[in-house]
Structure 1
Amino acid sequence: MAIRPIITAPDPLLREVSKPVDKVDDELRSLMDDMLETMYDAPGIGLAAIQIGVPKRVIVMDLAGEDEEPEPRYFVNPEILDPSEDMRLYEEGCLSVPEFFDEVERPARCRVKYLDYDGNEQILDAEGMLAVCIQHEMDHLEGVLFIDHLSRLKRERILKKLKKEQRLAAAS
């Protein structure tokens, strides 16, 4: 396993639509292991493959708290089915938009169809933080960032600050 660099906005790679995975094999499991290690190191609760520069429809997550046993989840080629009409506001952040948080409105519940770590088809009924996280990460697979759900003014302010931080980091 290896910790990989996380791409941050406004990198154009984050706007790419990820490609479906043909099969779950040892190479893909190795990618998912690297993603999980990278996510834990960041630290974060979810990571899409595109965030480490791999445009594949793969997500890893772990919503366990610091004092709980890890509960890694792996989603290959996830699809959202039956999102609820009931909407909820949640404060979101993102490893690709570091140090910025804001409220985003999303369906409170959804059903997700996906392949697991072993390539078996699964269906998961998600609500609360799990539903928010899976929808947030699935946005990445479509080239969408959580800041795209904010007003244009907020989004532009955040991107301007990120660009400035990147220029300062590159200069030092």
Structure 2
Amino acid sequence: MAAGTTRVRIPGSSGRVHPVRVLGDPVLREPCAPVTAFDADLARLVEDMFATMYAEDGVGLAANQIGVPLRVFVHDCPDDEDVRHLGAVVNPVLVEADGVTVTGEEGCLSVPGVRAGTPRPDRAVVEGYDPAGRPLRVEGTGFFARCLLHETGHLDGGLFLDGLTGLRRRRALRAVRRAGLPAA
């Protein structure tokens, strides 16, 4: 490395890829417990979550998706202006979800092969902590708001399928059956 050059650490580069839990696994349907220790174990979990998210080509991942029932999610997600949002949120609380409701295609690493037009507010604000325990407020619009809502929903035991109604829900559930997944 040249003198004066700083090394940028890439999230997940030292993490271990975990299998992603899929629809039917009970850990996906239970509310997650708050994190109480901001320590090396949490740092390792976050690193593993980034590694897993990148290995699966995701833009977000909640801890319960790898079988850890703690309130943590990671994201590397663009907004509608293609601005990259990268981070980890510990003990997130959704404090605002507003703006116009937009129906956009959504999928989930835990529901592989299934995508559906899912209505979500166009703006979301999440408050929590970074992995070092510092307070944090994350605001997103457009696609990034969708990501914040999706991942926070996972930590409450939800899946994007829960927000579908009518024909969209019937089509998504048909796709779930075709994919050989258990009923939502």
Under a length normalisation based on structure 2, what TM-score does the superposition of the two structures give?
A: 0.81
Report the equivalent of 2:113. Answer: 99
1:161 aligned to 2:161? Answer: no
Deviations 1:35-56 (A, max 9, x none): 0000000111100000000000
Report the equivalent of 2:19. Answer: 5
Amino acid in the other structure paired with 1:90: G
Distance 1:48 1:19 in 2: 12
Distance 1:138 1:158 in 2: 24
Determine which of 97, 119, 125 is the counterpart of 2:133: 119
Distance 1:165 1:96 in 2: 10
Q: Which moved more, 1:43-52 or 1:111-120?
A: 111-120
Distance 1:82 1:94 in 2: 22
Deviations 1:68-98 (A, max 9, x none): 9x86310100111122142111211100011
Distance 2:96 2:78 in 1: 25
1:32 aligned to 2:11? Answer: no
Distance 1:33 1:131 in 2: 23
Unaligned runs of 5+ in 2: 1-14
Report the RMSD for the aligned CA atoms in angstroms.
Answer: 2.2
The answer as to whether partners of 1:148 and 1:155 remain within 8 angstroms in 2 is no
Q: Equivalences for 1:127-166 in 2 at 5 Å?
A: 127-151=141-165, 152-162=169-179, 164=180
- The structure with the larger Rg is 2
1:104–1:98 CA distance, 2 compared to 1 (3 A):
same
Give the superposition deviation at 1:7.
0.5
Give the superposition deviation at 1:154.
3.1
Distance 1:22 1:93 in 2: 30
Distance 1:71 1:113 in 2: 15
Unaligned runs of 5+ in 1: 167-172
Report the equivalent of 1:170. Answer: none
Amino acid in the other structure paired with 1:48: A
Percent identity of the aligned residues?
38
Relative to its length, the structure with more helix (as a share) is 1
Amino acid in the other structure paired with 1:31: L
Distance 2:38 2:74 in 1: 14
Distance 1:72 1:110 in 2: 16
Deviations 1:130-153 (A, max 9, x none): 110010011111111111112352
Deviant stretches of 4+, over 3 Å: none
Amino acid in the other structure paired with 1:156: L
The answer as to whether partners of 2:124 and 2:148 remain within 8 angstroms in 1 is no
The answer as to whether partners of 1:104 and 1:149 remain within 8 angstroms in 2 is yes
Q: Secondary structure at the match of 2:173?
A: helix
Give the superposition deviation at 1:5.
0.5
Q: Secondary structure at the match of 2:120?
A: strand
1:37–1:93 CA distance, 2 compared to 1 (3 A):
same
Count of residue correspondences: 163
Q: Secondary structure at the match of 2:112?
A: strand
